[in-house]
Chain A
Amino acid sequence: MIAAVSFENVSRHFGSVKAVDSVDLEVQPGEFFAMLGPSGSGKTTCLRLIAGFEHPTAGAISIFGERAEGVPPYRRNVNTVFQDYALFPHMNVLDNVAYGLKVKGVSKTERIRTAEDALALVRLPGYGTRKPGQLSGGQRQRVALARALINRPKVLLLDEPLGALDLKLRENMQEELKALQKSLGITFIFVTHDQGEALSMADRVAVFNDGRIMQVGTPQDIYTRPASRFVADFVGSSNVVPPDFVKRHCQRDGWGSLRPEAIRVSTQANGTGIPARVVSVSYIGAATRLGLDAEGLRLHATVPAGVTVPERGADVVLSFGANALHVMEADA
């Protein structure tokens, strides 16, 4: 099968800054693919390389098997939902959405009809005559989505599409975007720094750091079997434990990753396990997050709601199941 997007050894350097550094990547057709990483990790540059706003310093990019180097953005059947939405402020919503059809030379009646359909698709029917300035952040986001979908792109790129929305709206849009992607069957590639968003929406996730891909896999893979300390640390605030701890508790070599929810906290001082002291207690709704000092090691554990929560300064005993401790390759 031909990959929707493929990167072969792609680099994009800005002077001495290696924004993207020899990246290999294959995104499958119809996939919802997330690029996850902290700011400056190269994920947005990768997206811009696919859109055609940037050109690789080295390497080859193909979109559905066609080489894309030197192809300007306006000749790529790829559309983008911009982080700031980039709606044209001097056009009304309908003209914004119909813009892609207008530059293609589609007749006025047809492009109005298609644009109205697209607005209905993003649940904004009848908003065509408003100016972007009169819409809320969530509505602008939907208009940007409708505008990007109107050309029926082979690949839809989303640059931090939900970053500017408040929590409630963001959760709703996550579900909607995912449902939309499934019903349209278009390849979605979206960039985010929010690990929760990447894990909940994507079929596969690529974790970026310093211009390189650290790991590619399903959300389950990334979460439960991180390949490196960086991934373990960045995705879901895991406890990264040093090799001597791993050696002591499961007789294997390398750094380990221990999920906060996998740690059982017992207030019975005579229980078996690792003795620890509670350093901080934060209530986060569905659970309580404990900061623990265990044998000089700083750990976090989450205690689900309904279980007795120890107080700050209490002495506790920690235990975890044999396969809860995931051992990573012995990396630096």
Chain B
Amino acid sequence: MSDTVALTDRSAPAVLTARNGVLGALSDLFWRKPKLLLFLMLLPPVLWLGIVYLGSLFALLLQSFFSIDEYSGMIKREFTLKTYGELLQPSNLDIMIRTVVMATLVTIASAVVAFPIAYYAARYARGKWKALFYLGIMLPLWSSYLVKIYAWKLILAKEGILNWALAKLHLTGLLEAWLALPIVGGNSLSVSSTGTFIVFVYVWLPFMILPIQASLERIPVSLIEASADLGASPTRSFWNVIFPLALPGVAAGSIFTFSLTLGDYIIPKIIGTSHLFIGQAVYAHQGTAGNIPLAAAFTVVPIVVMGLYLWMAKRMGAFDAI
């Protein structure tokens, strides 16, 4: 048959000659020793994380075991638990509890708000709607964090658009009743804990939506169909199948929202009451007060809380479906 002739070349060698030059030799070397390539690729990030990042973290931890001399204001480089004793004073405990409660509430609210959006994106959005979803989620992240927070200050202010809208809807009374409450209330939303909470939820929401969406997308449709097939109503299918399988995503998202809230000092400084959060305390102690050991001790709190949080999440089976 004549058409096979063109595809047959009896003079062709079975082994082709190597590519010339250093690049050719390198390609062959890496092909024979793939672990060498992996090693070379991982070396820079491991050095960065290991020395620069973890190293400075340990330096920080070390600082928290030093103390400050009350008279001279100098750091005494001797091992002591005095700074931790200071950390556990009622006024500091107050800061920690406020921050952890806020982080918890922000995380729960973010998960509740994020889930339906993520569910829609994972299950229904296709083509250009999916692109629009990603754009909608990511777009706020492209603009400056500070600009967004100041924008929220204007929105939540007494003369802001929210008050104006509520007045038009004749709901000003409702807002005033809420603001009259202790702890969550204040003069206006922009100087209340409620305001801080709203802005935290807004700013961290993308970090909750994206992991949940990724985990929902990995659930095969046939599992949901199987649940319905076996007699489960949509509500039961949600709690028995969808939610447990999306839990790793919720856990990943909550790690972001929880830790970001624990460490943030700008949002509570611009929007909210004069009560401090951990981030603000760190900022104050390492700045004007010059109390680096106490600032370091404060920084240890979010690390410990996050460790506890992850341990609890693991015990509750949040990572079983990974």
**Interface residues, chain A, with chain B CB atoms under 8 Å away:** 51-53, 72-74, 78-80, 82-84, 86-90, 99-100, 102-104, 147-148, 151
Contacts and interface: CB of A to CB of B under 8 A. Distances in A.
A99 B225 contact: no
17 contacts: A52-B228, A73-B228, A73-B229, A74-B228, A74-B229, A80-B229, A83-B222, A84-B220, A86-B226, A88-B240, A88-B241, A90-B244, A90-B321, A99-B240, A100-B231, A103-B232, A103-B233
A89 B231 contact: no
A86 B231 contact: no
A52 B220 CA distance: 18
A99 B320 contact: no
Interface residues of B, number: 19
Contacts, number: 67
B7 interface: no
Interface string B198-241: 00000000000000000000001011011111111100100011
B245 interface: yes
A303 B305 CA distance: 77
A102 B244 CA distance: 16
Given A53-B225, A87-B226, A103-B240, 11 more contacts: A52-B228, A53-B228, A79-B230, A80-B226, A82-B226, A84-B220, A84-B222, A90-B245, A90-B320, A99-B230, A100-B230
B217 to A, nearest CB: 15
For the residues of B in contact with A, the DSSP-based class is: helix
A103 B225 contact: no
Contact of A99 (B220, B227, B244): B227
Given A90-B244, A90-B321, A103-B240, A74 B223 contact: no
A83 B222 CA distance: 9
Contacts of A100: 230-231
B222 A86 contact: yes
B231 A103 contact: yes
Contacts of A151: 230-231
A115 to B, nearest CB: 12
Contacts of B228: 52-53, 72-74
Contacts of B222: 82-84, 86
Contacts of B227: 88, 99, 103
